Amino acid sequence: MLKISVTKSQKKIVKLGSFLGLLVLLCFHFSGSPAKTETAVATNIVFPSDSRIINVRDFGAKGDGVNDDTAAIQKAILNTSDPQTNNPGSNLIYFPNGTYLVSQTLVWPKISYFARILQGQSQDGTTIILKNNAAGFSDSKNPKAVLSTFEGGQTGNAFRHSIYDLTVDVGSGNSGADGFRFTSNNQGGIRNVTIRSSRGQGRAGLAMDKAWPGPSAIANLRVIGFDYGIFAIGPEYSLTFENIVLENQRIAGISNTWNLLSIRHLTSRNTVPVIKSEGVNPNDARSFVVVTDGSFTGGSASNVAIEVNAGNTFLRNITTTGYQAAIKQGGKVVPGNMVTEYASHQIYSLFSSSQKSLNLPVQEIPTIPWDNINAWANVEAYGAKANDDKDDADGIQKALDSGKTTIYFPSGTYKISKTLHVRGNVHRIIGLESSLDVVDPLKSQTNSVFRFEEGNQDAVVLERFATSFGNYKYTWFEHASPKTLILRNMAINSAKSYQNTVGSGRLFIEDIVGGDWVFNQQQVWARQFNSENEGTKIVNNGGKLWILGLKTEKAGTVVDTKAGGQTEILGGLLYPIQPVPSEQPAFINNESSLSVSIAESSYAPD
Decide: residue 383, CB within 10 A, 0-12 exposed, 13-18 middle, 19+ buried. Answer: middle
Q: How far apart are CA 486 and CA 481, in angstroms?
A: 13
pLDDT of 41 reads 56
* Whole-prediction pTM: 0.93
Predicted pLDDT of residue 89: 61
Distance CA 589, CA 219 (A): 31
Q: What percent of the chain has pLDDT over 90?
A: 75
DSSP states of 102-117: ESS-EE-S---SS--E
Cα–Cα distance, 425 to 335 (Å, whole number):
55
pLDDT for residue 179: 98
Q: Rounded distance, CA 54 to CA 481, Å?
A: 36
- The CATH class that applies to domain 364-505 reads mainly beta
**Distances from the Cα of 412 to the Cαs of 419, 466, 470, in angstroms?**
20, 10, 19
pLDDT digits (tens, 9 = 90+) for 310-344: 999 999 999 999 999 999 999 999 999 999 999 99
Residue 124's nearest CA partner among 235, 227, 220, 228 is 220
Going by their DSSP bridges, the two strands 593-600 and 338-343 should be labelled as: unpaired
CATH homologous superfamily, domain 54-343: Single-stranded right-handed beta-helix, Pectin lyase-like (2.160.20.10)
Identical fold between 54-343 and 364-505: yes
- Locate the domains of the chain by residue range: 1-29+347-361+506-606, 54-343, 364-505
Q: What distance lies between CA 549 and its chain's CA centroid?
A: 8
Nearest-5° Cα angle at 323, 321 to 326: 90
What averages of pLDDT result for each successive group of 10 residues across the chain (606 residues)? 43 32 31 44 87 96 98 92 54 96 90 77 98 95 93 78 97 96 92 93 94 93 98 92 98 96 98 94 86 98 96 95 96 95 85 84 96 97 97 98 98 97 98 95 97 97 90 94 97 92 97 96 97 93 98 93 97 89 90 92 69
**Mapped to the 3 state alphabet, what secondary structure does 462-525 carry?**
EEEEEECCCEEEEEEEEECCCCEEEEEEEECCEEEEEEECCCCCCEEEEEEECCCEEEECCEEE
**How many CB atoms lie under 10 A from the CB of residue 503?**
12
Alpha carbons 388 and 390: distance in angstroms, whole number: 5
pLDDT of amino acid 280: 81
Number of H helices, E strands in the chain: 2, 46
